[in-house]
Amino acid sequence: MEKEKKFKGSKFSTFIKKNIYLILMIVCLLAIIGMIAYTFAVQGAEDSTQTNANINDNQNVNIEKPDDNKPNENNPNEGNEDVETLTEIGQPVVNVEVMKDYTDTELVFNATMKHWATHQAVDYKCEKGEKVYAVFDGVVTSISATTLRGTTVTIKHSNGFESVYSLLDSKVSVKIGDKVKKGDIIGVVGDTGVFESADGTHFHFEFKKDGEFVDPNYYFEGANK
């Protein structure tokens, strides 16, 4: 048995010695094939990553489009996401008494400016000094004061939404860059603006998506849709 094993072993090593070049060539060939296969595999992975990146870029472009309020066809969930966020916005005042509602088609007479125009905002009948609250979490991006609109605070929310609070008292409770939570006090109602002064003391609230006015009634929590 021992001899037979040795014999077999020596026969094998003889075979190796005789065919060493052939074996080395096969090993080299296999290595080259392996490298080529690996290169193709890596390129394929890069290509597919690139394609995904392009798809994401396209989606971003669609989301950023200022006039694109329609749900993105490439991403059917986008529309749902917006609605989810917006169903959660609160009222900016505690005593909700709408004096002039939102309209983007019907013209209403502005007794102060003596002209007919749409009213892309909601006016709440308020007393001076009545508290005004952030309708949703966000960051204060602007505080301005003009003769027409009085003191105005703008809060930027997620998903391109903005809430704008006009006709406030000049002493506001926030400053630019402040992070606010839904329900935080922004300021109080004042009589700092004249563009709707003929309507009496009130608070003028606007809501925007990607810079365009939207009807806040659609987005208040508990709103009938």
Residues making contact with Zn ion (CB under 5 A):
121, 123, 196, 204
Helix (H, G, I), strand (E, B) or coil at 85: helix
How far is C-alpha 137 from the chain's CA centre?
A: 13
Q: How far is the CB of 140 from Zn ion (least distance, A)?
A: 21
Q: How far is the CB of 99 from Zn ion (least distance, A)?
A: 8
CB of 132 to Zn ion, least distance (A): 14
* Nearer to Zn ion (CB atom), residue 130 or residue 196: 196
Compare residues 72 and 201 and give the one whose CB is closer to Zn ion. 201
Closest distance of CB 167 from Zn ion, Å: 8
Q: What is the CA radius of gyration of the chain?
A: 34
Beta carbons of 132 and 187 less than 8 angstroms apart: yes
3-state secondary structure of 40: helix
Beta strand spans in the chain (E): 98-100, 103-110, 115-119, 122-125, 131-133, 138-146, 150-156, 161-168, 179-180, 185-188, 202-209, 212-214
Smaller CB distance to Zn ion: residue 149 or 209?
Answer: 149
Identity of the residue, 143 or 166, whose beta carbon is nearer to Zn ion in the bound complex: 166
Tokens of 142: 């602007």
Return the number of the residue (82 or 196) whose C-beta is nearest Zn ion: 196
- Measured from each CB, the residue nearest to Zn ion is 204
Least spacing, CB of residue 216 vs Zn ion, in Å: 12
82 or 132: CB nearest Zn ion: 132
Find out whether 140 and 172 touch, Cβ atoms under 8 Å: no
Q: How far apart are CA 75 and CA 63, in angstroms?
A: 10
Are 92 and 203 in contact by the 8 Å Cβ rule? The answer is: yes
CB of residue 130 to Zn ion, shortest distance in Å: 15
